[in-house]
A and B are shown apart, each in its own frame.
Chain A
Amino acid sequence: MDVELRGITKRFGPVTANDDVNLTIRAGEVLGLLGENGAGKSTMMNILSGLYSPDEGQILIDGKPVRFEGPGDGIAAGIGMVHQHFMLVPVFTVAENVILGVEPTGQLDYLDLKTARKQVLDINEKYGLEVDPDALVENLPVGIQQRVEIIKVLFRSAEVLILDEPTAVLTPQEVEDFFEIVKSLRDSGKAIVFITHKLHEIIEIADRINVLRGGRIVGEGDPKSLNEEELAEMMVGRPVSFDVVKGPFKPGETLLDIRDLVVLRENDDIAVDHVSFHVRSGEVVGIAGVQGNGQSALIEALTGLQHAASGKVAFLGDDITNASVRERHRMGMAHIPEDRHKSGMISNFTIYENMVLNTYYDDRFSTGPSINWPEVLKTSAQYAVDFDVRTPSIYLKAGNLSGGNQQKMVVARELERETKLVIASQPTRGLDVGSIEYIHSRLMDSRDEGDGVLIVSSELDEIMSLSDRILVMFEGRIVAEFDATAGPVDKNAVGLAMAGAPA
């Protein structure tokens, strides 16, 4: 089945999200769709799946114009979407999840699970998916859950599959398996739209690439003849540098010294299992690992948000194992939290309030019980300018900013303080290339000025390009350490360690 978007324009009030977009999706082909956050990718896919109706333009399926009136119409026409955030019921089995909403029923509304199981197995076999139809979804790893989502759309006889940032949650090894599945779907004649902002992936998997910027298609090309630099330039609209500019490696005194740290989860399971390592000034230590292997608990213990069950954390020689969050802030620890919406900022507060969220009590910003708001305003405006937070006014609510600007706001707040150690957890998750480049360079500035930097990321490329030393965390333990100052680290070896393979 071929789908064509012709002259699609969609406006939201004064904002034009899609501007005269033309796009062709062909059966048996992977179309890579590349664009920054806010470039209009989601709007376009929502139009394609029937959620929005376009203001102008039309959709043609196999040459015939169609009109979608609601979200059900897209899938009815054979266009299925696999969302970035899975929409599965954790306590249901795979088969139950797959049939949810289109249950095969017999007489008297009898639920025909047997047929459902068989159909799931058929789909499995046809595309090499290898998913147990009777497994409970909550017991499945993320990579398999994603396959369940794919089975869901295939079960609904989708001929066009839209995959929205499908690799964001996968390990490098899972990505390779996933690409095999995509290829097998393509070879069986499905049309695939692969949305991402990861350049190397799109070059590897796509047969054709379209780049979206500011709601318009700004480039189209053949992945064989394009390289990452050219694609990034199309996407951002200016040349982008991938090489993080680093000063010479000059490690100084040990800032953070962790000995035999044990942190428990709420249910008393061990989250961090006798971890020891140190961070020196002037170096970047990267902790690689698939999400959920104890990194979050480790960071919470280091920043004072969670108690250590045993072990010792020292900062500049002082024992801070039991120090409060604020004491650690005052000693010069900065913390960029992994989830900015949940814990890094307050969406309903203005930008300037967020800029002083953990410094409002400082003598600079307060006299007696009162906060000195004029000073806060001035300083926040300066932070916003220094860190390129793009907003018309700092009186705006932080929730109104784009993801990249929100993160720059958080980074500004943390790095503009007097810092000695920067702890950054997933500092660029969900951000576009331009913002990533910017935040990376600011983190490197901190390192070159003599701060210690500890980065936790599930994005292996990020860890590889920033770190002087790489630690791999698996099931609560540090299972491998790589020195990146001597020469390039073998990415494959790190990936294997992340998956728990013996070194």
Chain B
Amino acid sequence: MTDVTNDKQTLMQQLMQRAAPGRAEFEDLVIVPIFAVVVALIVGALVMLATAVDIATIGRSYLALLEGSVGSLNALSETFTAAAPLILAGLGLALGFRAGLFNIGAEGQIVVGGLVAAIVGFSFAGLPWIIHMPLTLLAGAVGGAAYASIAGYLRAATGAHEVISTIMLNLSSYLLLDYMLGLNWVQRPGRADPVSKSVLESAELPRLFAWIDPNLRVHAGIILVLVAVFFVQWLLFKTKTGFEFRASGENPDAARYAGMRASLIIVAAMATAGALAGLAGANQVMGVLGRATPGFSAGIGFDAISVALLGRSHPIGVLFAGLLFGALEAGGRQMQVDAGVSIDLIGIIQALIIVFIAAPLLVRAIFPWGFQKPSTGRKE
């Protein structure tokens, strides 16, 4: 009898052993993205060559790209500043993807979140920093969540696909922003152009390293980013809610059979994604711009889609993908200044990275020596 129990215990122990992450996983998560970036840079150089840029300038521009992104304290600061909203919104999108929602409405959620944060940020004069700043962040999150919930509700209640409804909501958000910025109580006094009042100092995300150099723009938003990464990681992989999100994303039928409430999950996942995008908007308004302006979202919500995809919808992956995109953006500006190469090239390189990430077989074919030989066939 004890023998049988012991056997069972040993067997259970064996089953609970996690196999070491395989070479294939490592290739997939690390090597493919690295090679994708390399190939994208090479193809980017070819594009420059094709547009009659000489080799020396190409060399200079890539040097500037490196310098402008990681070459100095200021460059790093710019990289982090550019990365912060991409990561926040990217986390939201990743969470949606996990739940099977192709939410492409981060742009609109950023606009609404940023707008609400700006309003709360310039109101409530006299509140202490310790209350006003978090309140403003919260307002941004709630704004984004509420706006995203519209698409979530439409999907859950009527089956309207979130791709369509979020595109519409993106467009609506631009108009809403323009309208609001023209209102008396929002527009900055004495200005003819539509710009909101400035966010009060008590609601600003303070610059973190102004004591080293007042030009270092990196602000408390990066702390928010780290908290958000850990929060999403915890939510997705450690909680009941995250389990439900992932289950309905992977197999909605099985989730329904397991007694999960699909409509509730859709609305909750959209709202959480919207809250993160709203935080990205608040981050821009409170940490970078100090106010809401027309088009302040600057396409971050669309770049964040690439970030979420590049990060394989995994919080840690999104963190690194966001940093990469932030670095490309910061470096791209330097590139334009130093080498006179158009910043549009950065857009091309970003797009190429996505293409190569999405086509791992292509990367494997270009760099056969980087990978283990693929197995010769599939098991039946």
Q: Which residues of A contact B (CB under 8 A)?
A: 12-13, 15, 17, 38, 40, 42-43, 46, 52, 303-305, 324-326, 329, 335, 337, 342-349, 353, 357-358, 360-361, 366, 369-371, 373, 377-378, 380-382, 384-385, 391-396
Contact = CB atoms under 8 A, between A and B. Distances in A.
Q: What is the size category of the interface that chain B forms with chain A?
A: 20 to 34
B16 A43 contact: no
Interface string B353-380: 0000000000000000000000111111
A43 B19 CA distance: 28
19 contacts: A12-B380, A13-B379, A38-B380, A324-B261, A325-B259, A342-B254, A347-B250, A357-B247, A357-B254, A377-B16, A380-B15, A382-B12, A385-B11, A385-B12, A392-B15, A393-B16, A393-B17, A395-B19, A396-B19
A305 B257 contact: yes
Contact of A12 (B14, B243, B261, B378): B378
B376 A13 contact: yes
Contact of A358 (B8, B253, B258, B376): B258
A349 B253 contact: no
Contacts of A395: 17-19
Contacts of A381: 11-13, 15-16
7 nearest A-B residue pairs (beta carbon): A326-B259, A358-B258, A325-B259, A381-B12, A381-B15, A343-B253, A13-B375
A303 B19 CA distance: 37
A370 B243 CA distance: 10
Contact of A393 (B15, B246, B251, B256): B15
B241 to A, nearest CB: 7
Interface of B: 8, 11-19, 238-241, 243, 246-247, 250-251, 253-259, 261, 375-380
A13 B11 CA distance: 26
B19 A369 contact: no
Contact of A17 (B11, B17, B243, B379): B379
Given A324-B259, A393-B19, A395-B18, A348 B379 contact: no
Contact of A325 (B8, B257, B380): B257
B250 to A, nearest CB: 5
B11 A343 contact: no
B232 to A, nearest CB: 14
Given A13-B375, A43-B380, A378-B16, A346 B257 contact: no
Contacts of B380: 12, 17, 38, 40, 42-43, 46
A393 B240 contact: no
A392 B19 contact: yes
A369 B240 contact: yes
Contacts of B246: 349
Contacts of B256: 305, 325, 343
B240 A361 contact: yes
A364 to B, nearest CB: 13
B251 A347 contact: yes
Contacts of A378: 12, 16
Given A12-B377, A346-B250, A373 B12 contact: no
Given A329-B259, A393-B17, A52 B377 contact: yes
Contacts of B376: 12-13
A96 to B, nearest CB: 31
Contacts of A348: 250-251
A346 B254 contact: yes
Given A329-B259, A371-B240, A384-B12, 20 more contacts: A12-B377, A12-B380, A46-B380, A305-B256, A325-B257, A326-B259, A337-B257, A343-B256, A346-B250, A346-B254, A348-B250, A358-B259, A360-B240, A366-B240, A370-B238, A370-B240, A373-B238, A377-B16, A392-B19, A395-B19
Contacts of B14: 392-393
B51 to A, nearest CB: 43
Contacts of A329: 259
Contacts of A43: 380
